[in-house]
Structure 1
Amino acid sequence: MHRSRSDRGFTLIEVIVAITLLLVVTVAALPLIINSLQFSTAQQRQQAGVIVTQEAMEQVRVRASGLTAVAPLVAGRHSSDVGAQFTRVSTHPGVAQTNAASDPAAASGSAAALLPLQQNVRRDGTDYTVETLIGTCTQQKNGTGELRCLKTGTGNAMVRTIVVTKWTAGDACTGSPAGYCSYEAMSLINLDTDLEWSDAS
């Protein structure tokens, strides 16, 4: 019985050539696959950092609800602990224009602080260090009429909260100039109950 060429299947040479081509394509695509996985993992860590930061900021907002002074927010925060914290994150935006707020009656160690200065949070196998800074600033207009909250000056006193979250997992963090990845959020809280409203545009 005579078989047509299509019934014979592949020769050994054809199989070897096909496997070789498949290996070449796979090896060529491997760096792209690895980079995509690393990018995806870095994005997941970044998203977790955002969530951790927002949770810490929400703790402050809940405590600040209904307050008319900064003192209850910083209860248990010793001045030396707060000073060390502000020094640790001094390069982050807003810190240089914030007066550190502390509790004169607090003992050193700040273990009794209602809002912890620093927390260690673990999410999806990554450790995050969360710094919650609380201080004051004065809201005022600059020469162009833009509102700024500065360390000194005359104007409306505000509470500034800065949350800085850091993590060191992943190549993106270890290769960064700071040696770590970070995400931060800042919020201004007006404790003045007698707000002035204006319809002026």
Structure 2
Amino acid sequence: MANIILIGASGFVGSAILNEALSRGHQVKAVVRHPEKVTVKHDKLEVVAADVQDAAALTDIIKGADAVISSYNPGWTNPDIYNDTLNGYKSIIGAVKNAGVQRLLVVGGAGSLFVKPGVTVMDTGVLPEAIMPGVKGLAEVYHNQLKSETSLDWAFFSPAGNIAPGQRTANYRLGKDDLIVDAKGESNISVEDYAVAMINELETPAHHKTRFTIGY
């Protein structure tokens, strides 16, 4: 079983990934701003309080891990979410490299996925303006920080257009850069199945230095 660092383990997606990883027997060190928000108790779970923008402290926490999964989100109500996303991931990427860990899996966004050639979800106008700074921040992490990163074995995992609580079916489709839609033209995934796919990628790596996505 793997020794995993999970950044943002108390969040919506992060908590689902935490539960999935623990259910499969992995050792997880959960890195969060507020440890009290992690209510799960497990003998393979260690909860650590840290500010991801403190790269030196984060490096020490990460050392010795087999892989890092980052579900970092500065908070959708954070007025500076755009800059905090960029600065946070700059710190995370640097810390992973300095800690000597090769594998970095990032919980991406759907905004940068294509709905047709040359047109992304962000371009369509369907996303609420209130969340656009965070969406743009994650898109820039992918385009400007990860795509040029050659020393890490990274993957940026974009969810479907709609990710919500649901069932763990373990029955889904994976793609690369295009939004996955069903017969009705809808793009959905449960957060439980997203977590299944993320831990599958951890256990059996299939995507290297690239983005991939999921949907029903």
TM-based fold match above 0.5: no
TM-score (norm 2): 0.23
